[in-house]
Amino acid sequence: MRTKNTEHEIDLIVERPDRKVVAIEIKLSDGVSDKDVRPLNWLHSQLGDRVVERVLVNTGPRAYRRDDGVAVVPLALLGP
């Protein structure tokens, strides 16, 4: 998803039949900054409870949840 003025971009948005969404951002780095999750948090501020999960997939060594609620998941955990 990309806004018309390209101010916000999110790599993947999965929408369920009940209109709830999971927003996924993909970064090819092992670190995560506030800037990396800004689009996910922006979408959450726009859609509220419709966003049931915000996920940042990266190349890092461990999975964890940030203080802002974004799940950070290493790509290696998603499959063989």
Q: Which residues in the chain come in under a pLDDT of 50?
A: none
Can you give the pLDDT at residue 52? 98
Supply the pTM of this predicted model. 0.90
For the sheet containing 51-58, what is the strand order? 12-15, 21-26, 51-58, 71-74, 64-65
Contact (CB, 8 A) for 63 and 74: yes
36 SS3 class: helix
Q: Given this model, what pLDDT does residue 2 score?
A: 81
Bridge partners, residue 51, by sequence: 21
Instruction: Please report the pLDDT score of residue 64 as a whole number.
Output: 97
Report which secondary-structure segment, H or E, holds 46: helix 34-47
